[in-house]
Structure 1
Amino acid sequence: MNASTVQDKHLEQLARKRASAKMGWYIHATVFIIVNLLLAGLSAMSERHWAMFPAFGWGIGLAVHGFVVFFVTGGACLHERLVQQERSRLQLQRDPW
C-alpha cells in the first residue's frame, strides 16, 4: 500500500466518523422535539405546566452534544492541518532537493 492509499483510507474513516457524529446529533434533536411536543401536550392537559423542566434539562444535554459534534470536530480539523504542516516540514528537512 502506498502513502496516498493509506491517507485516502484515513480521510475516508475520519469523514465517516464525523458524518456519523452529526447524524447522531440530528437524530437526538428529532427525538428531543417529538418527545417534548408529546410532553407539552400532556402538560397542557394538567393544571400545572411541568413540561418545561424536562425540556430544559434535556435541552442542555442536546446543546452540549451539538457543541461537541459541531465545534470540537472543527478543532480536530485544526489538529489535522497542524499535523500536515509538521509532516511537510519534516519531509523538506529530510529531502534536501
Structure 2
Amino acid sequence: MKADFSEEQKYIRAKKKVEEIKGFYWNLLSYCLVIPFLIFINLKTSPGYHWFWFPMLGWGIGIIIHGFNTFGVNIILGRAWEERKIKELMDKEKFK
C-alpha cells in the first residue's frame, strides 16, 4: 500500500510542477505581448515621457523571480521548509 501512496505522491508533485511551468510560460507570453503594446501606446500618446519602463521593469523582475522559483533556483525563500513541513504533517497523519 505504501508503494501506491508513494507513486500517487510522485504523480501529484509532477502534475503540480507541470502547472507551475505552464503558469510561468503563460506569464512570459503575456509579458511579451503586453509590453510592446504599452510601449506603442506610450510613444504615440506622450513620446516625451517614457512611463513604459516602470511596468516593463517591475513585471520583468517578477518574471525572473517566477522563473527562478519554477525551475528550482530559489533565491528568496527556499522550498526546503515546504518539504520538511509536508513530511512532518504526513508523519502526524500516519500515527493518528
The one-character-per-residue Cα deviations of 1:24-60 (angstroms, maximum 9, x if unpaired) are 1111111111110110111221322221221011111
Unaligned stretches of 5+ residues in structure 1: 84-97
CA RMSD of aligned residues (A): 2.4
Runs of 4+ in 1 over 4 A off after TM superposition: none
Unaligned stretches of 5+ residues in structure 2: 88-96
Which has the greater radius of gyration? 1
SS in 2 for 1:34: helix
TM-score normalised by structure 2 residue count: 0.69
Deviation at 1:8, TM superposition (A): 0.8
Tell me the percent identity.
29
- The structure richer in helix per residue is 1
CA distance in 2, matches of 1:61, 1:72: 14
Partner of 1:87: none
CA distance in 1, matches of 2:65, 2:5: 33
Deviation at 1:15, TM superposition (A): 0.1
Partner of 2:91: none
Q: Count how many residue pairs are aligned between Structure 1 and Structure 2.
A: 78
Partner of 1:57: 58
